[in-house]
Chains A and B, each alone.
Chain A
Amino acid sequence: MNSVETIIESAVRLSVPLLLAGCGEYVAERAGTFNISLEGMMLAGAYTAVLGSSITGSPALGLLFGLAGGLLVAAAQANASHRLAANAFVIGVTLNLLVLGLTSFLDESFVLDPGRVGTFSIPLLSGIPIIGNAVFGGRWTLLAVYVVIPATWILVHRTRWGLEVRSVGEDPDAADASGVHVNVRRRQAIYWAGCLAGLGGAALSLGEVGGFNDNITAGQGFVVLAAVIFGGWTLRGTLTGCVLFGLADSLRLALPAIGYSITPQLLIAMPYLVALTAMVIFVRRQRRPGALGVQFVHGRR
């Protein structure tokens, strides 16, 4: 059925920024940091990608600029909360406000002419019915997702760095006693999240939309937060959540065209409702990082 294929294809397309940012935020939350400024990181990445693509003329370099933009916001968040010990929530909310204002202002001030990331299509596999076109074809940013997901898994679960990051999120005092630099690992985890969130924002502006609009991310950073929670702080769960929420977005756009009318507010609220319900249902099985959201001050005990 053509409409099913279209829905699946657009679901995958819309999930790409969420998946990229989700891989990043997964690491940050495993480290015990709750990044409210993820939205700001994605938005900054979206704008700097468009800026970079305009300046250099190459969308690929634009993606790298986007990565840098997200990293910049992450640097502010990480250093203010985990070096200076300012309240992480204030910093997060304020950074979101700052990035929103700054990107809107810069977008109004300069006219940019970005390119758009090209498309690819794997010859045989994209012929598979229903999912072929969605999963084995699309923009190059989809390939970035296929690279980033295993890379994140290997980084978190098969390297010493990943082990230290996970220990820092679970019990920072024990990690500190073992000689792990708690705040250093937390900052590094936030940098990783910032890079990937910036890349996700870049995938949104250069890959999907082809330009920058005011508040282009429109809360997708918070959807990613909900996805990590929905996934019970596992990578598999986070990615499932991101794809599910991308599907919800795609349904919201596609169903009215087909003829069904579902209240749009329900579909927009769906990620958050689903995350809350999943938290309640799976509360026993969930392994929340023990020290999530609690800032660590060396020598506080």
Chain B
Amino acid sequence: MIVPAHEKKPLHQPPPNVHRPPPEPLRVPAAKRVPTLIAVYGASVVVLLGLCYALIIIAGNSPADVADALYRGSVADLPAVSRTLQEAAPLLIVALGTAVAFRAGLVNIGQEGQVILGAVLGAIVGLEVGGPPKLVLALTLLASCVGGALWAGIAALMRYWAGISEVVVTLLLTFIAFQLVSLMVTESWLLRESTGSQLNLAPQSDPLPQGVALPFLGQPTGLMIGVGFLMAVGLAAIVALALARSRWGFRLRLLGLNPIAARCFGVRAGAVGGAALVLSGAFAGLAGGVVLTTSALRLQPYVSHNYGWEGLLVALLARQRPTIAVVFALVFGGLRASSTFVAATGLAPSLVNVIEASIIFAALVPAAYLALRKRNATGKAIAS
């Protein structure tokens, strides 16, 4: 039905002229935020300490002894600090790779497997390739990068070719990697140690040739900083800068935050995302190579020593920020470094696991609780 123009109602009614006060700012001012932060984290730390205290007492050990062992093992003197740095290096490298993948929106939880593959390929090159020790060392580290990259590359392939979630694939590949390394060091036609007698054959490979080991700077009595740690810190700076300032980093973050917008802007998910996943595998593999050439010096079934899992935790706790990851890597490195000292106090190793898990919860739960409160407060502010 045709309506004459003067009888048409306008589509938008102008709002009635009601005087409304401006809405409350949604951001809580800092003066109010800090006491809440302190209260929540403080409560969490108190609960953590109380729980640990109770557990240690129930176990029959002395909390003072354990605390002393933790201190002496990680930061008390320069050799302890050296050990802490040495343990922190692989954790940091794994965490950096994890951060790269997560920022691209990819959930890589197979770091443990990638570390193992890095160590395996590194061991193959280190044991089979001849030449000057420094060259072999460089090739070993390169091969370990390639090993980890290949393992993550399988996940990237399955994700971008077949659409299979990388969460699942990386997790399953980890368990396959455990069996792979066990196979490598058990079969004599593979990397099994070749000794004269057939008795007492432990499942491990030959030791790496003399000189194929990452050097340390400093004196054994003083501070010894390993090249592995220097590499880790250097990589942390590079990754932090690249993620924040480079075009590649921008594309990566864009892909992670809004894949659809990324596609509109010409960021190919397969290329950038796949590269990010492969790169994170390469980092984890490099960590495996560092472990192989620093402390392990031969291939064993447990060469990865949980560096993969703890590196993942470091990255997740640091919310995928490389700079904060350094701090968490040092904390976890200190815990690992003091583990022999703590074991010497007689504390059951299983309890150390419990304490470590509790520390992670103590770091995680307050953040989640605060985020929940903020969301609810924002919701209320919008609704009112």
Is A89 within 8 A of B316, CB to CB? Answer: yes
Q: Which residue of B lies closest to A104 (CB)?
A: B350
Asked if B25 is an interface residue, CB under 8 A from chain A, the answer is: no
Asked if A128 is an interface residue, CB under 8 A from chain B, the answer is: no
Interface of B is mostly: helix
Is A105 within 8 A of B371, CB to CB? Answer: no
Q: Which of B361-384 contact A (CB under 8 A)?
A: 361, 364-365, 367-369, 371-372, 375, 379
User: Which of chain A's residues have a CB closer than 8 A to the CB of B178?
Assistant: 269
User: Which of chain B's residues have a CB closer than 8 A to the CB of A263?
Assistant: 183, 187
Asked if B186 is an interface residue, CB under 8 A from chain A, the answer is: yes
Asked if A283 is an interface residue, CB under 8 A from chain B, the answer is: yes
Instruction: Give per-residue flags for A134-165: 1 if the beta carbon is below 8 A from chain B beta carbons, else 0.
Output: 00000000000000000000000000000000
- For chain B, which range describes its interface: under 10, 10 to 19, 20 to 34, or 35 or more residues? 35 or more
Is A101 within 8 A of B368, CB to CB? Answer: no
Is B348 within 8 A of A265, CB to CB? Answer: no
A98-B379 contact given A34-B167, A108-B348, A273-B176, CB 8 Å threshold:
no
Asked if B264 is an interface residue, CB under 8 A from chain A, the answer is: no
User: Which of chain A's residues have a CB closer than 8 A to the CB of B180?
Assistant: 265, 269
User: Which of chain B's residues have a CB closer than 8 A to the CB of A283?
Assistant: 162-164
Asked if B356 is an interface residue, CB under 8 A from chain A, the answer is: yes
- Chain B residues packing against A (C-beta within 8 Å): 55, 58-59, 107, 109, 158, 162-165, 167-169, 171-173, 175-176, 178-180, 182-183, 186-187, 309, 312-313, 316-317, 348, 350-358, 360-361, 364-365, 367-369, 371-372, 375, 379
What's the minimum C-beta distance from B292 to chain A, rounded to whole angstroms? 20
What's the minimum C-beta distance from A76 to chain B, rounded to whole angstroms? 9
Interface of A is mostly: helix
Asked if A122 is an interface residue, CB under 8 A from chain B, the answer is: no
5 A-B pairs, CB-CB below 8 angstroms? A80-B365, A94-B313, A103-B350, A263-B187, A272-B172
User: Which of chain B's residues have a CB closer than 8 A to the CB of A297?
Assistant: 375
Is A100 within 8 A of B350, CB to CB? Answer: yes
Is A108 within 8 A of B350, CB to CB? Answer: yes
Instruction: Give per-residue flags for A96-125: 1 if the beta carbon is below 8 A from chain B beta carbons, else 0.
Output: 011011111100110000000000000000
Is A98 within 8 A of B371, CB to CB? Answer: no
User: Which of chain A's residues have a CB closer than 8 A to the CB of B171?
Assistant: 36, 222, 225
Asked if A266 is an interface residue, CB under 8 A from chain B, the answer is: yes
User: Which of chain B's residues have a CB closer than 8 A to the CB of A101?
Assistant: 350-357
What's the minimum C-beta distance from A297 to chain B, rounded to whole angstroms? 7
